[in-house]
Amino acid sequence: MLQINNLYTIAEDDHNKHILNGLNLNINPGEIHVIMGPNGSGKSTLANTILNNKRYIKTEGNIIFDGDDITNLSTDKIAKKGIFMSFQTPIEIPGITVAHYMKSLKESMTGEKANIYKLSKEVEENMAKLNMDKSYNSREFNAGFSGGEKKKMEMLQLLMINPKLAILDETDSGLDVDAIKTVKEGIKAYKNDTNALLIITHSMKILDGLDVDKVHVLIDGKIVDEGDITLAEKIDKEGYKEYNHED
Amino acid sequence: MKTRVEEIDTNIYELKSTNTTLKKSIGLSPDIIKEISKEKEEPEWVLDLRLKALDYFNKLDNPNWGPDLSMLNIDEIATYVKPKVDNKRTWEEVPDDIKNIFDKLGIPEDEKKSLAGVGAQFDSEVVYHNIQDSLTKQGVIYVNFDVAIKEYPELIKEYFTKAVPIMDHKYIALHYALFSGGSFVYIPKGVHVDFPLQSYFRLNEKGAGQFEHTLIIVDEGATLEFIEGCSAPGYNELNLHAGCVELFVKKNAKLTFNTIENWSRNMLNLNTKKCIVEENASIDWVMGSFGSKISMLYPMSILNGENASCSYTLISFAGNGQNLDTGLKVIHNAPNTKTIVDNRSISKDGGICTFRSNVHIGKKADNSKVSLSCSSLMLDSISKSDTILVNTIENESVEFSHEASVGKISDQVIFYLMSRGYSEEEAKGLIVRGFAEPIAKNFPVEYAVEMNRLINMELEGTIG
Amino acid sequence: MEYILNESPYKTTNGFKINNIKLDLDIPEITYLNPVNKKFNSKIGLEFDKYDEYNITDDLTIEYSNSIGRVININVDDEGEYDILLKSLDDTKCFSYIKINTNIDNKKIKINVINLLNNKTDSFIAYDNKVNNKGELIINHIDLGGHFKVNNLYTELYDNSINKVNTIYIGDDNKLDYNYHIKNIGEKTISNMITEGILNNNSYKQHKGIIDFIEGCKKSIGEELENCILLDDKSISRSSPLLMCHEEDVEGAHGVSTGKIDKDKLFYLLSRGISEDEAKKIIILSNFNKIIDNINNLTIKDMVIEYINNNI
């Protein structure tokens, strides 16, 4: 489904250093992959690079999704092809209600005018799966939301969009119990046999109870080790010393 | 009771010396200019330029904005004061009464400790210029500007007046009519000068004007840090400083230009500074303005090459009877150019601080970034603090942000510190120094100490 | 004919080009009021000798058609919220000059001025305010339509009074000029200016906002925020915030941001499959809605949102 081949990237504002250093990754339908790595190893950059955030420039390699080269496709087209990214720190859009936002989202994805009644029913159903109150609809998008509430909005969008591949950027180690619970509820409602999940994380807590297919260890922009869930458990206990890294 | 934060020797700036003058001209006329030119044995073209500039000075009006300059009568100013000494290369050769003043200011001491070269100007003439031999061997030039006109005519003709034209404004025209002394610096391609070069300007004669010209060329890939210090003892007569600084930073080069200005409170400081910055090059202005009666000073950076950048780290402290009108001007002419500004001003005892900034981002300046921040601290209600900004943006890919704030020291903060055992005065002193700290830390160590000393001197009146 | 507008109360170097703002203006004959003289007042711009006088007690819609010119003086006295709507009925070039005066003593007044004029009509709007004795004046200046748009505001604040001025503008092949000056004169006064705008299609905008703390205005607060988004390479944004402080015991702040749309916001919305145009619209509306939400009349509010949706 997703194939990343020998990818090198630099930051838009610092051309001197490669952040991803020849990264390879292969994700098949139905699979759950996990990427772990110390701070500054390039974890968040990877998610942003897949979605072609202009803050990062690809200098070598390519990204194939469902057989198409998406390396230089614009972000909205990549999203429309079926890749979703959940943000570590989602933006706030004061002045725009959640309902208004969901309408724009749906109309962009489908390319046609949304049926307001059907849409609000769909939003409410998905809210129910995440134990969200309907009153969110009339609140301004993420404006003044707590970290946990913002996470809920990310999961709600995941369910609304229902992508082929979801990338969860959970590198924020300060995730509280509620937020972790929300993410798990989101994953549970989303995941099936045909779609795939890539979780970027620091912490084991989020993986607890998930049927993880593969764990990758990312150091200095390169995958240096791969294994099953036991690898994640080992890192959780011992850190990255084995890879000559302090963190 | 007076609280003293630190023991301060305020007397060093007040040293006057008499009987140091050899020759003195008062007022302004073509004859006086011809005489100065003759005294300096200048080439013909320099005299022509002086006379043309005099013409502009007479034609141009005083600015119709900012501080009132009508008190200045050029006919009463000693426009040329020649001290009894020629340009020397060792301190031993400098006459005792002049040397004594520079000794007290700590100039030769600093040279030994941490400087790559030193120039010292006394009234209209440079009395001392020295540079480490190792730098001379690498082709670095650091000489009295008058000497440079004779010894490096090609470089002078190529660069002199090219950053600051003679008709820019009334007082730059005056400068070009009367310029005397100052420094010429050339750093050849790829040469890194590890320690700063320093020029110190001392205006000793009462009622005199100082018109030094500083021209610095940092060639491709070279780096330099330059320090400028100014002081004068206090008199009742008006003194005038109309200096000019022209800076050229070539491709991949880097220049830091530091100024600590502590002119006496009878000084009109009308200085003009401009820097032309080429591709990948940078200019960093670090400036502390403490002295003078009136200051009008707005260093300008013209970012002509791709990736060129400039930064301004500025502080002014205006006390009783002072009107410090400072600021900056930046023109972004090329893509990916960058400006960062941090200005801080403090006013007390009726002092006036005005900060004017004009940033222009032209059509060609794609993806340029500007971040401007200015904050003002008012220590009482009879003082003034004005911030006047103009930002022009002609390119949509620009990121421009600006923040300004003004106010007093918060009662809450004072209360907090007093609850920790500080007296109110100590608390205020602490906060003012904290306010100035981000600027102070950009100065070389000796100058940061100097700046703290100046802040303490300024605060002494208030804190008591 | 060239007129000098907005002579600045505080002069600065001529290179700043804000001392005297000039505008080449073609004022048509005023159809039912013939001004004897035209002159300019340094405080509030263009002035006429005679005006159509209104003392408004209710909402007001002023309509323009058939190349009409109107010079109107509006006095607002009673407490309440007033919507003043400027509308073109056809696409002829008209001339609109509205002067709004308030003299508020211990009252709360909110004025929403909505400019929906066509893109040929020149629009002048001038506010002259005096607020005293715990009075509060809120102005929502929704400057959407019009050709040349010149807007002046002068407010004197005394004794615990408040003036908030919220402005939205759209520049679409327009020249826009804002000259706002609020004086904090009395103790515990609050001045607040928020301006949100976009420029497109060769527009030129000059925004001068002066917060002016006069000696004696102890415990006063003044704040100014300006945010301008440039949507094309031919538009020019000039902003000149002035913060004049002649009193120690105050808090003053101003901030300006100009440039393109926030990259992180744009990336977020694009990552949800929203197209770039739609994403920009959402971000702009988000900026504008903070101000539009201050209007209580839902019909007017919808009219404004619809206009913005159709015009950006």
ipTM of the complex: 0.84
> Mutation test of the interface with chain C: which of A48, A83, A91, choosing the one with the most C Cβ atoms within 10 A?
A91
Interchain CB distance below 8 Å, B388 and C10: yes
What is the domain range of residue C160?
Answer: 2-261
- To the nearest whole angstrom, how far is the Cα of A86 from the nearest Cα of chain C? 9
List, as own/partner pairs, every contact residues A226-232 make where C-beta atoms lie below 8 angstroms and the sequence separation is at least 24, other chains included.
A232/A34, A232/A36, A232/A204, A232/A207
The answer as to whether C292 is a domain residue is no
Number of domains into which chain C is organized: 1
Give the model's pLDDT for residue A83. Answer: 93
Spell out the domain ranges in chain B.
10-297, 410-464
Interchain CB distance below 8 Å, C289 and A95: yes
* Higher pLDDT among residues B408 and B232, named by residue: B408
- Residues in C whose CB is inside 8 Å of some CB of B read 10-19, 213, 215-216, 218, 228, 230-233, 235-260
Interchain CB distance below 8 Å, C15 and B329: yes
Q: Is B373 on the interface with C (CB under 8 A)?
A: no
pLDDT tens per residue, range B49-69: 999 999 999 999 988 888 999
The pLDDT of B271-279, averaged and rounded, is 97
The answer as to whether A136 is a domain residue is no
The answer as to whether C180 is a domain residue is yes
Of the ranges A45-49, A134-138, B16-20, C244-248, which one carries the lowest mean pLDDT score? B16-20
pLDDT tens per residue, range C225-265: 999 999 988 999 999 899 999 998 999 998 888 888 888 89
* C93 burial via Cβ count (<10 Å: 0-12, 13-18, 19+): middle
Give the model's pLDDT for residue C38. Answer: 45
What is the domain range of residue A39?
Answer: 2-91+163-243
pLDDT tens per residue, range A21-38: 999 999 999 999 999 988
Number of domains into which chain A is organized: 1
Q: How far apart are CA C307 and CA C312, in angstroms?
A: 9
Report the DSSP beta bridge partners of residue B210: B241
> Mutation test of the interface with chain C: which of A93, A97, A107, A160, choosing the one with the most C Cβ atoms within 10 A?
A93
Residue position matching structure tokens 């949100």: C196
pTM: 0.83
3-state secondary structure of C300: helix
Give the model's pLDDT for residue B309. Answer: 97
Q: How far apart are CA B210 and CA B78, in angstroms?
A: 9
pLDDT averaged over every residue in chain C: 87
Q: Is C302 on the interface with A (CB under 8 A)?
A: no
- To the nearest whole angstrom, how far is the Cα of A156 from the nearest Cα of chain C? 12
pLDDT tens per residue, range C10-44: 777 776 676 666 667 666 665 544 443 344 444 55
CATH number at residue A183: 3.40.50.300
Give the model's pLDDT for residue B237. Answer: 80
Phi, psi angle pair for B193, to nearest 5°: -90, 110
Q: Residue C245 corresponds to which amino acid?
A: C
With b for 16 or more beta-carbon neighbours within 10 A and e for fewer, the B306-319 pattern comes to: bbbbbbbbbbbbbb
Q: Dihedral, CA atoms, B229, B234, B238, B244, nearest 10 degrees?
A: 0
pLDDT at residue B464 greater than cutoff 50: no
The answer as to whether C299 is a domain residue is no
The answer as to whether A11 is a domain residue is yes
Give the model's pLDDT for residue B56. Answer: 95
A neighbours by CB contacts (3+ pairs under 8 Å): C
pLDDT tens per residue, range B310-348: 999 999 999 989 999 999 999 999 999 999 999 999 998
Q: Is C277 on the interface with A (CB under 8 A)?
A: no
Phi, psi angle pair for B237, to nearest 5°: -70, 155
3-state secondary structure of B8: coil
The answer as to whether A125 is a domain residue is no
Q: Give which of B109, B241, B215, B114 is closest to B160, Cα–Cα.
A: B215
Interchain CB distance below 8 Å, A51 and C287: no
The pLDDT of A104-130, averaged and rounded, is 87
The pLDDT of B432-460, averaged and rounded, is 74
Total CB pairs under 8 A between chain B and C: 143
Interchain CB distance below 8 Å, B398 and C259: yes
First to last CA, chain C: 32
Tell me which DSSP letter residue A137 carries.
G
Give alpha helix (H) positions in chain A. 43-50, 75-81, 98-110, 116-129, 147-161, 177-190, 229-238
pLDDT averaged over every residue in chain A: 87
pLDDT tens per residue, range C93-112: 998 989 899 999 999 999 99
Residue C199 tokens read as 């420029």
CB A132, CB A152: distance < 8 Å: yes
pLDDT at residue A7 greater than cutoff 90: yes
Give the model's pLDDT for residue B406. Answer: 87
Residue B144 tokens read as 């009295």
- To the nearest whole angstrom, how far is the Cα of A239 from the nearest Cα of chain C? 31
pLDDT tens per residue, range A181-190: 888 888 888 9
pLDDT tens per residue, range C37-85: 344 444 555 667 677 888 888 889 999 998 888 888 899 989 999 999 9
The answer as to whether A115 is a domain residue is no
Interchain CB distance below 8 Å, C259 and B386: no
Interchain CB distance below 8 Å, B391 and C238: yes
CB B316, CB B326: distance < 8 Å: yes
Q: Is B74 on the interface with C (CB under 8 A)?
A: no
Nearest to A51 among C271, C278, C282 (CB): C271
The answer as to whether A25 is a domain residue is yes
What percentage of chain C reaches a pLDDT higher than 90? 61
Radius of gyration of chain A (CA): 18
Distances (CA, A) of B459 to B219, B320, B413, B420, C113: 42, 11, 18, 21, 50
The answer as to whether A29 is a domain residue is yes
C neighbours by CB contacts (3+ pairs under 8 Å): A, B
